[in-house]
Chain A
Amino acid sequence: MLLSKIWLIPKIIVILLVSATSPWFLPQPILYKAIILITTLTLLLYVNFKKSIIKVIFFVFYIALIFAQVFSTDIKNTYNFSDHRKYLHQNRLDQYPPSLARVGNIIENHLDSPIIYQTQQNFFESLDLVNYFKNFFPIVYIFPFIFGLYKFLKHPNGLLTITTIFSVLLLSVVGIHGSYGPIIIFPIIAIIISHYPFEK
Chain B
Amino acid sequence: MKNKLFLLVILLFSFFVYTYKLDQVPSSVYVDEAVTGYNAYSVLKTGKDENGKLYPIYFRYFNAYSPGLYTYSIIPLIKLFGLNSFSVRLLSALSGTFSVFIFYLLIKIFIKSKSKAQIATLFYAILPWTFFNSRLGYEVMYAATIFNTGVYLLYKKFPNISNLGLFLISLSTYASHNQRYLAPLFIIGYFLIIKKPQIKTLLILFVSQIPNLILVFTPAFWVKNNVFSLKFILLQFITYISPKTLFFELPDIDQQHLVPKISIFYWWMIIPLLIAFKKISPGNSKKYQLLIFWTIISLIPASLTGEFISIQRALPFLFPVGIIISLGLVQINKIFLLIAFPYSLFLLFRSYFFFLPNEQYLAWNYGYQQVSDFSLGHKQETILVDNSRNIRNYILPLFYQKYDPASYQKSLGNFISSNYYRVPPQLGEYHYNNLTFAPIKWNEIKNYDYIVSDGLSVSPNQAEEHGLILIKKIETKNNQTSQEIYKVVKSNQ
* Contacts from A to B (Cβ < 8 Å): 88, 91-92, 94-96, 107, 117, 120-121, 124-125, 127-131, 133-134, 139, 142, 150, 153-154
Contact, CB under 8 Å: B355 / A153:
no
Closest to B234 in A: A139
Contact, CB under 8 Å: B278 / A154:
yes
**Chain B residues near A91 (CB, 8 Å)?**
358-359, 478
**B369 → chain A closest CB, angstroms:** 22
Q: When A120-B248, A153-B278 are in contact, do A128 and B243 touch as well, CB less than 8 Å?
A: yes
Contact, CB under 8 Å: B235 / A139:
yes
Q: Which residue of the partner chain, among A120, A127, A139, A153, contacts B231 with CB atoms under 8 Å? A: A139
In the assembled complex, the Cα of A130 lies from the Cα of B248 at a distance in Å of 14
**Chain B residues near A130 (CB, 8 Å)?**
235, 238-239, 242, 244-245, 251
- Residues of B in contact (CB 8 Å), total 28
**A9 → chain B closest CB, angstroms:** 28
Q: Which residue of the partner chain, among B235, B241, B249, B277, contacts A154 with CB atoms under 8 Å? A: B277
Q: Which residue of the partner chain, among B242, B350, B354, contacts A129 with CB atoms under 8 Å? A: B242
In the assembled complex, the Cα of A96 lies from the Cα of B244 at a distance in Å of 28
**A94 → chain B closest CB, angstroms:** 8
**Chain A residues near B267 (CB, 8 Å)?**
120, 124
**Chain A residues near B251 (CB, 8 Å)?**
130
In the assembled complex, the Cα of A38 lies from the Cα of B247 at a distance in Å of 33
Top 10 A-B pairs, shortest CB-CB distance: A124-B248, A153-B277, A128-B244, A124-B244, A127-B243, A129-B242, A129-B238, A130-B239, A95-B354, A130-B242
The dominant DSSP class at the B interface is helix
Q: When A121-B249, A124-B249, A129-B241 are in contact, do A92 and B235 touch as well, CB less than 8 Å?
A: no
**A164 → chain B closest CB, angstroms:** 11
Contact, CB under 8 Å: A154 / B248:
no
Give 27 A-B contacts (CB < 8 Å), ordered by A residue. A88-B359, A91-B358, A92-B354, A95-B355, A95-B478, A107-B350, A117-B261, A120-B248, A121-B248, A124-B243, A124-B248, A124-B267, A127-B243, A128-B244, A129-B241, A130-B235, A130-B244, A130-B245, A133-B234, A133-B238, A134-B235, A139-B231, A142-B234, A142-B238, A153-B277, A153-B278, A154-B281
Chain B 250-271, CB-CB to A under 8 Å as 1, else 0, gives: 0100000000110000010010
Q: Indicate whether B223 reaches chain A with its CB closer than 8 angstroms.
A: no
In the assembled complex, the Cα of A113 lies from the Cα of B358 at a distance in Å of 19
The dominant DSSP class at the A interface is helix
Q: Choose among A117, A124, A131, A150 the residue with the greatest number of B CB atoms under 10 Å from its CB.
A: A124
Q: When A96-B354, A134-B235 are in contact, do A127 and B278 touch as well, CB less than 8 Å?
A: no
Contact, CB under 8 Å: A128 / B242:
yes
**Chain A residues near B238 (CB, 8 Å)?**
129-130, 133, 142
Q: Indicate whether B213 reaches chain A with its CB closer than 8 angstroms.
A: no
**Chain B residues near A131 (CB, 8 Å)?**
244
In the assembled complex, the Cα of A88 lies from the Cα of B244 at a distance in Å of 21
In the assembled complex, the Cα of A75 lies from the Cα of B231 at a distance in Å of 33
**B277 → chain A closest CB, angstroms:** 4
Contact, CB under 8 Å: A92 / B244:
no
**Chain A residues near B281 (CB, 8 Å)?**
154
In the assembled complex, the Cα of A62 lies from the Cα of B244 at a distance in Å of 26
Q: Which residue of the partner chain, among B247, B270, B277, contacts A150 with CB atoms under 8 Å? A: B277
Contact, CB under 8 Å: A124 / B239:
no
**B171 → chain A closest CB, angstroms:** 33
Chain B 345-365, CB-CB to A under 8 Å as 1, else 0, gives: 000001000110011000000
Q: Indicate whether B274 reaches chain A with its CB closer than 8 angstroms.
A: yes
